[in-house]
Amino acid sequence: MIEIVRGDVADTDDVLPTAVNDLNQSFTVQVDGADAVTYSPLTYCSKVQQSPDDAELVNTTNALYLYWVEAYEYFNRNQGGN
């Protein structure tokens, strides 16, 4: 069984959906009671950048990171009606 925990929410059926402005948020994955791993999608992007063997994957993670930056700034700027 796969268990994914984000904050206080656990889901045993599927990967929890992630809004683009939350790609920096970590979550924990545990499979069949094995050691749990905590990571975020942006952690993955960072790891890809550290070993640039696949240029297409590097470009994709660059684009994902830039997309997150714009979404994060947009949602934070527009919180509370500012």
- Helix intervals (H) in 1-82: 41-50, 55-77
The model's pLDDT over 19-68, given as tens digits with 9 standing for 90+, comes to 888 888 888 877 777 788 888 889 989 999 998 799 999 999 999 999 99
pTM of the model: 0.68
Question: Distance of alpha carbon 6 from its chain centroid, rounded?
Answer: 11
How confident is the model at residue 38, as a pLDDT?
83
- Count of domains for the chain: 1
How confident is the model at residue 81, as a pLDDT?
47
The conformation of residue 2, written as its DSSP 8-state character, comes to E
Range of the domain at 67: 2-81
CB distance 27 to 38 below 8 Å: yes
How confident is the model at residue 10, as a pLDDT?
52
Q: How confident is the model at residue 82 (pLDDT cuts 50, 70, 90)?
A: very low
Q: Which residue has the higher pLDDT, 25 or 79?
A: 25
